[in-house]
Amino acid sequence: MTPTGCLAVVPALTHNTLVVAAGVAAVGCAAGVVGSLSLLRKRPLIGDAAAHSTLVGVATAFVLTGRRDLPTLLTGALVAAVAGLATLVLVRRFTRTRDDAATAIVIGVGFGLGIALLSGITARGLPGSAGLEQFLLGHTAALTARDAVVLGIVSVATVTVVLLGLKEATLVAFDADFAAATGWPVGLIDQALVTLVAVRVVVGLPAAGAVRVTALVVSPPVAARQWTDRVPTLLVLGGVFGLVAAVAGVAVSAVVPRMPTGPLVVLSAAAICIVSLVIAPRRGWLARRRQRIAFEPPRS
Amino acid sequence: MNMVLADWSIDGATAMHAWAIATAATVAAACALVGTLLVVRRMSLLGDAIGHAVLPGIAVAVLVGGRPGSPLVFAAAVATGLLTVWLTRLVRSAGGLADDAGTGVVFTTLFALGVVIVTAAASRVDIDPSCLLYGILELVPFDTVSIGGVEVPRGFVSAAIVLAVLAAAAIATWKLQVFTAFDADAARAAGVPVAAVTGGLLAATALATVAGFEVVGAVLVVAMLVVPAAAAELLVRRLHHMALVAMVLAIVGACLGYLAAWRWNASAAGMIAVVLGIEYAAAVVLAPDDGLVARGLGRLRYAWRVLCEDRLAAVWRAEEKGTAAAVPVSLVQRLAVGWLWLTGRFVGPAGRLALSPAGRREAEMVVRSHRLWEAWLGQHAQLPLDHLHPPAEWVEHHLGAAMRQRIEAEVGGIGDPHGSEIPPEA
Amino acid sequence: MPTPTRQSRLPGRLPQEADVADAGSSAPPVVEFHDVTVAYGGRPVLWNVDLTIAEPCLFGIIGPNGAGKSTLLKSALGLVPLVHGTARFWGRPLAEVRGRVGYVPQRETVDWDFPVSVTDVVLMGTYGRLGWFRRPGSRERSLARECLDRVGLIDVADRQIGRLSGGQQQRVFLARALAQEADVYFLDEPMAGVDARSQEQIFGVLAGLRSEGRLVVVVHHDLRTAAAWFDRVALIDMRLVATGPTAEVLTPDNLRRTYAGQVDLLQEIGQAVAARGRTP
């Protein structure tokens, strides 16, 4: 993964930049793969609900343990993300509230609780609480080599799980009724997918922050969908686009002074997405327009 | 933070807090009004998208010289909000995407763009991105304009104007909004300008979001838009009641949230969202019709009624056959018998209970329902004779007098399929 | 139950063996609904259905819109919870015989823009047998090709499913069910929105399954074709109105009871049941 050769070419690429690049690339790649699955299941925004719930976990983990190393805080974030998604399921199950409103409630209230806890911690000046709000927007430059390794391992693990269960996930995403009728535990498979999304979001936190990690899960899969009609290709392209966006973002922020990495990664992903939406063969805007012109008689 | 509420006097600090609370409550009410329509039209996530996406608009407006909080910045933000909606539709139709995916792509991108602009121009623009996320309610009272000699916070003025505009628009177009929300196709067929109505709602959302954005920040606007409206939906059935209840919940949430934040020294915006969430949870539990408590009680009440009616019918049937009724075995059955005795439907000493006239009437109606239903099923559904009893055992508890007479007219006095007599209506 | 009799045969029908329901065999019936009641949100939509399909045949479930035909099918497959009653296959619960039960859902229930090819969809029929984590191999692939051939779609095997006509999409679903290699097939409105040629083709495949000794249960709404296609039918309108050999069941009286029936009464009682209260 380490493009050592680049070191000589671009002097701005320091050791730290490379570490960050490797970590963010792993995160971006895995986010694209998992995001493709949740796009197929037609739930692209469950990641957003998970992401906005994570702050509660970060704050709670810090208060409970008094530690602020990445694994501790991310474990807290994961618990909170899963709890947020579980709330979503409960609201759907036991109330008349519609799906979109339920998602918005989890996003708004989860984030509000997180902000309230973080602000309370900061106001009390607890030792070591200074940098916690970096999870809000991400603070890529603060990644250490150890953090990058953790992120890489978790990313590889999630991608492996996806590849292992691809057959089951595709079946449930395409036709849940048929899957249930043939004996597959649809609820269990859905829960596994939701957990994967939660893991993805949590791993993306240090790089992109709670607010923008959604972009990593949504944009690359949407871009990939424009280019292919097959699930395996979709996953590969989603992963590649996520990786390219991550690396491009890190590279630009290394070259241009004072540019934050997180937003640049998101913008790179968006650029790939926009280009794909316009020029992709058959599904792209240009291709559709050409088809329409070919079919419609010219208006006089 | 050892002040208590009683310590408040009319001094500068209190006035500051009062202005902040008033501003938050005004914004919350405006958001809840718009949110009601968003929730019933399944557009709840639009507020989320607009709340994030206005950042670049604000950043550019500030960059070209607009003062934060000025009408120019406000207008730029609203315009960006509408642009977001338009872009979402464009992405969706260009990519043939699901709604959520289009929204997700557009708002995350615009938000990132905003952060990049803000960071790039950090020397010239004084915007703190995290402030945009959770607002600066605490600072609202410090930025004032003079109105008739009174120093009024700028944020309160703009919030009040937005609320007034939205309320006026809502009153003027409410019927059209309701019709469109209920059935857009029928509304279009009836000549309602559905596109204009929806456009108006989107503009109102942008307006409310931007007003809320200044006070509680981007993400928490979602809470203000959606949570009170969703809670109100659980509490009342009519749309205009829902709007009013949502506004009340929002105002209460804003006040309590601010006080809680002040008490525990935390972010006011965050606490307001938390209080709104608690209100929603309370609605889930306590809602009169289908709250968890009401549902649980309804289930218990039904189980109790079934138990009592079954005991009455059992004694009646035993009398009919001339045998002794089965002795109640379980504790709840004995409790039911005790209750029936207390309420005068059983009479006599323990061990030799008999039906009172009232109890007999009730028992006869249960048995009548049972046998009528067996007769109906025997005639209208293809069921073997021995399968008629279990469904009747269930439906007997749900038939009223009018329905029994209807069924009797239909089965035409052929009697119970097992040959028993059907008791007459009381 | 009415005693089944030989029914009049229409010309051009395939020969059929399984018209006699109670031939005195002691084998348990293929499918047996026992007092099945299904409710959505507490409100019953299907009341006390007792239906036995003793032997393999082409079986039609007929009734008006909203009569609960699809619900009955789904209740057999465990897709909707039963308020009471049981559905059994060969006298055993569904969980024990899942592999022998095939299913063709309604075409509108899936997103046809989904990025899978025709072959991918047909392979899904083999997933139940494959179990967790195992991928389809060469045996499954050749089976999928066979099934596609049988429904006449071998030429479009690699196409994305959205680029097919409605009739072709329905046949993809049929091929997927064939790949399940089941003994009982449930089809939910397979003829809805399908052109006449595809209808004939689908019917041909179903008749073939019957002649192989499999039971085919079809939810159907078109009375004219029903009389020609099915050996036995059940008339459903929130309850079972009549069942038996087609010619005996499709009488004017039964049809009137099905299509202008007692639904408002059942709906009123259903509301009272959902509210745990009483009707007026």
The residues near B9 (Cβ < 8 Å, ≥ 6 apart) are none
CB atoms within 10 A of CB B41: 18
Determine the distance in angstroms separating the CA of C83 from the nearest CA of chain B, rounded to an integer.
Answer: 11
Interhelix angle C118-130/C138-150, nearest 10 degrees: 120
From CA A196, how far away is CA A125, in angstroms rounded?
A: 35
Instruction: Give the one of A177, A178, A231 whose C-beta lies nearest to C116's C-beta.
Output: A231
Name the CATH superfamily, with its identifier, for domain C31-274: P-loop containing nucleotide triphosphate hydrolases (3.40.50.300)
Co-location of B116 and B81 in the same domain:
yes
Q: B287, B306, B327 — which closes off a domain? A: B287
Q: Which residue of C has its CA nearest to B411?
A: C262
First and final C-alpha spacing in chain A = 58
Co-location of B246 and B303 in the same domain:
no
- Name the residue among A229, A177, A184, A36 with its Cα closest to residue C108: A177
Co-location of B252 and B327 in the same domain:
no
Give the CATH number of the domain where residue B349 resides: 1.10.10.10
- Name the residue among C156, C169, C159 with its Cα closest to residue C115: C159
B400 touches chain C (CB under 8 A): yes
- Name the residue among C43, C125, C67 with its Cα closest to residue C262: C67
Co-location of B283 and B357 in the same domain:
no
Q: What is the dihedral of CA C206, C211, C215, C218, to 10 degrees?
A: 20
Question: Distance of alpha carbon B241 from its chain centroid, rounded?
Answer: 11
Co-location of B278 and B348 in the same domain:
no
Domain boundaries, chain C: 31-274
Co-location of B300 and B259 in the same domain:
no
Q: How far is CA A186 from CA A34, A173, B147, in A?
A: 18, 9, 62
3-state secondary structure C49-101: EEEEECCCCEEEEECCCCCCHHHHHHHHCCCCCEEEEEEEECCEEHHHHHHHE
Q: Which residue of C has its CA nearest to A93?
A: C41
CB atoms within 10 A of CB C248: 17
C133 touches chain A (CB under 8 A): yes
Confidence check: pLDDT of A2 > 60: no
Q: What is the rounded radius of gyration, in angstroms, for the C-alpha atoms of chain A?
A: 20
Domain extent for B21: 5-287
Show which of residues 70-129 on chain A sit within 8 Å of chain C, judged by CB atoms.
Answer: none
Co-location of B282 and B332 in the same domain:
no
Instruction: Give the one of A97, A98, A283 whose C-beta lies nearest to B95's C-beta.
Output: A283
Check C128 against A183: CB less than 8 A apart: yes
Q: B287, B306, B325 — which closes off a domain? A: B287
Of the pLDDT bands very low, low, confident and very high (cuts 50, 70, 90), residue A38 is confident
Here the tokens at position B225 are 């838009």
CB atoms within 10 A of CB C76: 24
Co-location of B129 and B261 in the same domain:
yes
Determine the distance in angstroms separating the CA of A188 from the nearest CA of chain B, rounded to an integer.
Answer: 23
From CA C37, how far away is CA C75, in angstroms rounded?
A: 9
H-only helix segments in C40-137: 69-76, 94-97, 118-130
- Whether B421 is in a domain gets the answer no
- Whether B375 is in a domain gets the answer yes
pLDDT tens digits in sequence order for chain B, 426 residues long: 333 444 444 566 788 888 889 999 999 999 999 999 999 988 888 888 888 888 888 888 878 877 766 788 888 888 888 888 888 888 777 766 666 778 888 888 888 888 888 777 766 656 666 666 667 777 777 777 788 778 888 888 888 999 999 999 999 999 888 898 888 888 888 888 888 888 889 889 888 888 887 777 776 788 999 999 999 999 998 999 999 999 999 999 999 999 999 888 888 889 999 999 999 999 999 998 888 999 999 999 999 999 999 989 988 888 888 877 677 778 888 888 889 888 888 888 777 778 889 989 999 999 999 998 888 888 877 777 777 888 888 888 998 888 888 888 888 766 677 777 888 887
Of the pLDDT bands very low, low, confident and very high (cuts 50, 70, 90), residue A4 is very low
Co-location of B213 and B323 in the same domain:
no
Task: Give, as one character, the DSSP assignment of residue B1.
Answer: -
Show which of residues 161-180 on chain A sit within 8 Å of chain C, judged by CB atoms.
Answer: 164-165, 167-168, 170-171, 173-175, 177-178, 180
Map out the domains of chain A with their CATH numbers: 8-295 (1.10.3470.10)
Confidence check: pLDDT of A291 > 90: no
Strand bridging mode C58-62 / C184-188: unpaired
pLDDT reported for residue B124: 62
CB pairs under 8 A between A and C: 73
Across-strand partners of C44? C39
- Name the residue among B150, B235, B177 with its Cα closest to residue B33: B177
Phi-psi region of C41 (alpha: psi -120 to 50; beta: other; left: phi over 0): left
Here the tokens at position A44 are 């692209």
Q: How many domains does chain B have?
A: 2
- Whether B128 is in a domain gets the answer yes
pLDDT reported for residue B131: 64
Here the tokens at position A50 are 């998970």
Give the CATH number of the domain where residue B244 resides: 1.10.3470.10
pLDDT tens digits in sequence order for chain C, 280 residues long: 343 333 333 333 333 444 444 444 568 899 999 889 999 888 888 988 989 999 899 999 999 888 889 999 999 999 998 888 899 999 999 989 988 999 999 988 898 989 999 999 999 999 988 889 889 999 999 999 999 999 999 999 999 998 898 899 999 999 999 999 999 999 999 988 888 888 888 999 999 999 999 999 999 988 888 888 899 999 998 889 899 999 888 888 888 888 876 677 888 888 888 888 888 8
Q: Which residue has the higher pLDDT, B123 or A45?
A: A45
Which chain A residues are closer than 8 Å to C136 by Cβ?
Answer: 167
Co-location of B277 and B319 in the same domain:
no
- Report whether B129 contacts A211 (CB < 8 A): no
Co-location of B85 and B216 in the same domain:
yes
Instruction: Give the one of B44, B115, B270 whose C-beta lies nearest to A100's C-beta.
Output: B44
Which phi and psi angles does C92 have, rounded to 5°?
A: -120, 155
Co-location of B262 and B176 in the same domain:
yes
Here the tokens at position A233 are 């290709």
Q: B287, B306, B333 — which closes off a domain? A: B287
Neighbours of chain B (3+ CB pairs under 8 A): A, C
- Whether B420 is in a domain gets the answer no
